[in-house]
Chains A and B, each alone.
Chain A
Amino acid sequence: MKTKSNLEQVLEAGQFAVTGELGPPQSADSEVIKRKAKILKGYVDACNITDGQTAVVRMASWAACLIAKEEGLDPVVQMTCRDRNRIALQMDVLGIAALGINNMLCLTGDHQKFGNHPTAKGVYDLDSIQFVKMVRGMRDDKEFQCGEEMVVEPRIFIGAAANPFADPFEFRVARLAKKVAAGADFIQTQIVYNVDKFAEWMKMVRDRGLHERVKILAGVAPIKSVGAARYMKTRVPGMDVPDSVITQLQGVPKEQVPKEGIKLCIDIINQVREIEGVAGIHLMAIEWEEAVPEIVEAAGLLPRPKFTP
Chain B
Amino acid sequence: MLISEQKPIEEILSYLDGDKNVFLVGCKGCAEGWKSGGEKQVAEMERNLQAQGKTIAGSVVVDMLCDSALTNLKLRTYKKEIAAADSILVLTDGAGVQTVAELVNKVVHPGCDTLSSGGAHAEWKEAERCLECGDCVLEFTGGLCPIARCSKHLLNGPCGGSQGGKCEVNPDIPCVWQQIIDRLAKLGQLDKLERLVMPKNWSVSLTSGPPVKRLS
Residues of chain A touching chain B, judged by Cβ–Cβ distance below 8 Å, are 81-82, 86, 108-109, 111, 113-114, 122, 124-130, 133-134, 145, 161-163, 166-168, 171, 174-175, 177-178, 181-182, 190, 237-238
The winner among A82, A109, A145, A166 for most chain B CB atoms within 10 A is A166
Q: Which chain A residues border B160 with CB–CB below 8 Å?
A: 161-163, 166, 190, 237-238
Number of A-B contacts (CB under 8 A): 89
- Determine which of A167, A181, A238 lies in contact with B196 in the assembled complex, contact meaning CB atoms within 8 Å: A181
- Which residues of chain A come closer than 8 Å to B175, judged between CB atoms? 167
Query: In angstroms, how far is the closest chain A Cβ from the Cβ of B146?
Result: 10
**Do A122 and B162 have beta carbons less than 8 Å apart?**
no
How many angstroms from the CA of A181 to the CA of B156 in the assembled complex?
12
B contact residues vs A (CB 8 Å cutoff): 151-165, 168-170, 175, 178, 181, 190, 193-194, 196-200, 202
- How far in angstroms is the closest Cβ of chain B from A278? 19
- Contact: B161 with A129, CB < 8 Å? no
Q: In the docked arrangement, what's the CA distance between A108 and B193, Å? A: 18
Docked Cα-Cα span, A237 to B157, in Å, equals 15
Q: Which residues of B contact A113 (CB under 8 A)?
A: 151, 169-170
Shortest beta-carbon distance from B4 to chain A in Å: 23
List the 4 closest A-B pairs by CB distance, nearest first: A163-B160, A237-B168, A129-B156, A237-B161
A171:B193 contact, CB within 8 angstroms: yes
Residues of chain B lying within 8 A (CB to CB) of residue A163: 160
C-alpha spacing A130/B157, complex, angstroms: 11
Q: Knowing that A122-B151, A127-B157, A238-B168 are A-B contacts, what are 12 other residue pairs whose CB atoms are under 8 Å apart, sorted by A's residue number? A: A81-B152, A82-B152, A109-B152, A111-B152, A125-B200, A130-B155, A130-B156, A130-B199, A133-B196, A175-B156, A238-B160, A238-B161
Hey, which chain B residues are within 8 Å of A162, CB to CB?
160
Q: Output the least CB separation between A87 and chain B (Å).
A: 11
CA distance A127 to B156 in the complex (A): 7
Taking a contact as CB atoms closer than 8 A, the residue among B152, B163, B165, B181 that contacts A127 in the complex is B152
The listed residue (A111, A145, A174) touching B194 by CB distance below 8 A is A174
